[in-house]
Amino acid sequence: MKIFFYETVLGKIGIAEEEGKITNLCFESDKKPENAEICETQIIKEAARQLKCYFSGTLREFSLQLNPQGTEFMKKVWGALCRIPYGQTASYKEIAVAVGNKNAMRAVGMANGRNPIPIFIPCHRVIGADGRLVGYSSGLDIKKKLLDLEKSKK
């Protein structure tokens, strides 16, 4: 696995890839992938370019090959997260329904929290049923900044 770090509007962000697919995105406060070699590959450069465009409001959908590691259920949840449109939100219940198990809100929450590629897989777009910002592994302040960014560029 290769990883490279970039300074962004949210602080330092690490983007990791393996075999040409993005596997991780980590914020400064996150645990970094173990045994990753610091190296800026072409796919990481492209991911960083798209991320910069996203932050500037000129990109709403990423076109990267992603390879998050997790269970089949987690992958279903992450796929559903990628279908939440830019600037919009969905509740944990709506995601549970989208993956075919309306009672799996807690499991959806766990999968959301274990998303290894935040932003590219937009787990920040998942909110509580009452519209409150809840649960973001890198902190609610980052979640709020991402949602505010998308609202302001909509």
Report the catalytic residues. Answer: 123
Distance from C-alpha of 26 to C-alpha of 51, rounded to nearest angstrom: 13
Distance from C-alpha of 146 to C-alpha of 135, rounded to nearest angstrom: 14
Distance from C-alpha of 77 to C-alpha of 80, rounded to nearest angstrom: 5
CA 87 vs CA 57, 130, 143, 150, 151: distances in Å: 11, 18, 12, 5, 5
Nearest to 66 by CA among 18, 101, 123: 18
Sign of the Cα pseudo-torsion (126, 66, 8, 56, in order): negative
